[in-house]
Copies of this chain bind each other. A is one copy, B any other.
Amino acid sequence: MNTPLDDQGGPLSGLRILELGHFIAAPFCTRVLADLGADVIKVEPPGRGDPVRSWGIIPEGETASVWWSVHGRNKRSITADLKKPEGIALVKRLIAEVDAVVENFKPGQLASWGLGPRDMTAVNPDVIVVQVSGYGQTGPGHNRAAFGVIGEAVGGLRHLTGYPPEVSELPPVRTGISIGDSVAGLYGAIGLLAALFEKGKGRGTPGRRIDVALTESILSLLEGCLPEYGATGAVRQPTGSTLPTNAPSNAYPTADGRWFLIAANSNALFRRLCGAMGRPELADDPRYADNPSRVKHAAELDAAISHWTTGLTLDEVAAQVEAADVPCSRIYDIADIAADPQFLDRGMVRRVADPRLGEVLHPGVVPAMTGGPAGGVRWAGPDVGAHTDEVLAELLGMAPDEIDALKKEGVL
């Protein structure tokens, strides 16, 4: 697994980050940064490593999940037992050699091991520390246990994602991916890079910390919900498959029993959709004259559009709505994505050689950067500790027998 770093690099080459992460949020943060060229050194417990290595599909005869191939890509994995003083001492020596640390232990956990932010700045005053947690590092509820699902619910997303109680008795739906963790990870990356910008301007202060809460990361995305509540007392409610603020935008049934999404929520788009439907008069109907009117009469409008779509197959509807240049789509599953010409053309579905699994499909690097090195997939998620020897020799100048001794003691 000791593939050499791609010389082409990316915008973040030269940036070195130590990851004390597990599960999703912190490792996702560092995946994004590693994709763009950062050297991410991930510290894992000796033996089983990050629990995500056992999440999702594990092929027959394998010990690690397929997900790991993406989640761990471009990172160097080293082992250290953080429950042993020698493990902590080793990690401190590494912290002295990096630009930033990204961690997502429960608040206070690392400090209890002598690895809190103050311990880190004691060995490296310039180190930037990103701490991702459920509720944040401070406040009366900071030490409650949390996972993404909880952060999404407390941040207000879960309540809004579902059908109103009068339409369905089922509970609100979980957004089908670990969105709270991912968004927190993205905010962590932004904070880290913002602190680097500040440092580059000569304004960096010792002890710069980025305190990312899952709950707050989600709350920050809630559009106008909070100010609307503050100004009018309105509590936004779930609206199922539609938008609460714009119409028409919904999933419409087709003759072949499928759903087709149409988002004709501007005056010009709506007029074009009416043309495609052969109902140009609807665009002049006062009920649908502007967005506020269409939102008010969304149920009638959706009925009229559904009446049209149910008479046609999905392919027929798609052809007509696309010809009118109105935003629309089938609902893609992962097989649709893997076959999509646009994703393929942009390198967003790429074949990566994984020494463990053979050729695997990976999503490409986001964001796509042009006009210079773009980053890329240098290697797939490595085995636990695949880079221990390499990293300890390179960063700390440790000799092979020193490293072997620590392995025998179970520190690595």
Kindly supply a per-residue 1/0 record for chain A positions 30-42, scoring 1 wherever the CB is within 8 Å of any chain B CB and 0 otherwise: 0010001000000
Give Cα A191–Cα B371 distance, bound, in whole angstroms. Answer: 12
A67 touches B228 (CB 8 A): yes
Shortest Cβ distance from residue A246 to the other chain B in the assembled complex, whole angstroms: 7
Is A280 on the interface with B (CB-CB < 8 A)? no
B341 touches A141 (CB 8 A): yes
Chain B residues near A234 (CB, 8 Å)? Answer: 57
Chain B residues near A55 (CB, 8 Å)? Answer: 224, 245-246, 291
A156 touches B337 (CB 8 A): yes
Number of interface residues of A (CB under 8 A): 165
B231 touches A57 (CB 8 A): yes
Contact among B69, B336, B368 with A210 in the assembled complex (CB-CB below 8 Å): B368
B219 touches A363 (CB 8 A): yes
Contact among B56, B224, B238 with A228 in the assembled complex (CB-CB below 8 Å): B56
Give Cα A229–Cα B59 distance, bound, in whole angstroms. Answer: 12
A208 touches B12 (CB 8 A): no
Chain B residues near A220 (CB, 8 Å)? Answer: 32, 363, 366
Interface centre among A158, A238, A246, A334 (most CB of B within 10 A): A334
A226 touches B176 (CB 8 A): no
B241 touches A173 (CB 8 A): yes
Is A379 on the interface with B (CB-CB < 8 A)? no
Within A51-65, which residues are at the interface with B (CB < 8 Å)? 51, 54-59, 65
Is A86 on the interface with B (CB-CB < 8 A)? no
Within A220-247, which residues are at the interface with B (CB < 8 Å)? 220-232, 234-246
Known: A66-B232, A183-B186, A205-B372. A191 touches B161 (CB 8 A): no
Shortest Cβ distance from residue A142 to the other chain B in the assembled complex, whole angstroms: 7
Kindly supply a per-residue 1/0 record for chain A positions 167-203, scoring 1 wherever the CB is within 8 Å of any chain B CB and 0 otherwise: 1101111111111001100111111011111101101
Chain B residues near A241 (CB, 8 Å)? Answer: 170-174
Q: Please give me the residue from chain B that is nearest to A24 by CB atom.
A: B223
Known: A138-B346, A168-B168. A226 touches B157 (CB 8 A): no
Q: Please give me the residue from chain B that is nearest to A182 by CB atom.
A: B221
Within A309-361, which residues are at the interface with B (CB < 8 Å)? 322, 325-338, 340-343, 345-346, 348-349, 351, 357-361
Give Cα A172–Cα B392 distance, bound, in whole angstroms. Answer: 49
A176 touches B342 (CB 8 A): no
Contact among B163, B182, B228 with A57 in the assembled complex (CB-CB below 8 Å): B228
B219 touches A348 (CB 8 A): yes
Known: A168-B170, A197-B11, A368-B213. A177 touches B157 (CB 8 A): yes
Known: A193-B190, A219-B337. A170 touches B235 (CB 8 A): no
Give Cα A203–Cα B15 distance, bound, in whole angstroms. Answer: 13
B345 touches A150 (CB 8 A): no
Known: A207-B371, A226-B334, A333-B156. A239 touches B171 (CB 8 A): no
Chain B residues near A171 (CB, 8 Å)? Answer: 240-241, 251, 253, 259
A157 touches B186 (CB 8 A): no
Give Cα A235–Cα B338 distance, bound, in whole angstroms. Answer: 11
Kindly supply a per-residue 1/0 record for chain A positions 1-35, scoring 1 wherever the CB is within 8 Å of any chain B CB and 0 otherwise: 00000000011101100000000000000001000
Give Cα A97–Cα B174 distance, bound, in whole angstroms. Answer: 45
Q: Which 6 A-B pairs rank lowest in CB-CB distance, beginning with the nearest?
A: A160-B176, A67-B224, A230-B361, A193-B193, A171-B251, A200-B200
A-B contact pairs, 22 of them (CB 8 A): A14-B201, A54-B291, A70-B226, A138-B346, A141-B341, A145-B325, A145-B327, A150-B328, A171-B240, A171-B259, A173-B238, A175-B175, A182-B221, A191-B367, A194-B369, A209-B369, A209-B371, A219-B348, A225-B334, A226-B337, A230-B360, A230-B361
Starting from the known contacts A222-B334, A229-B338, 8 additional A-B residue pairs (CB-CB under 8 Å) come to A10-B194, A58-B292, A136-B346, A159-B331, A174-B241, A197-B197, A213-B366, A235-B335
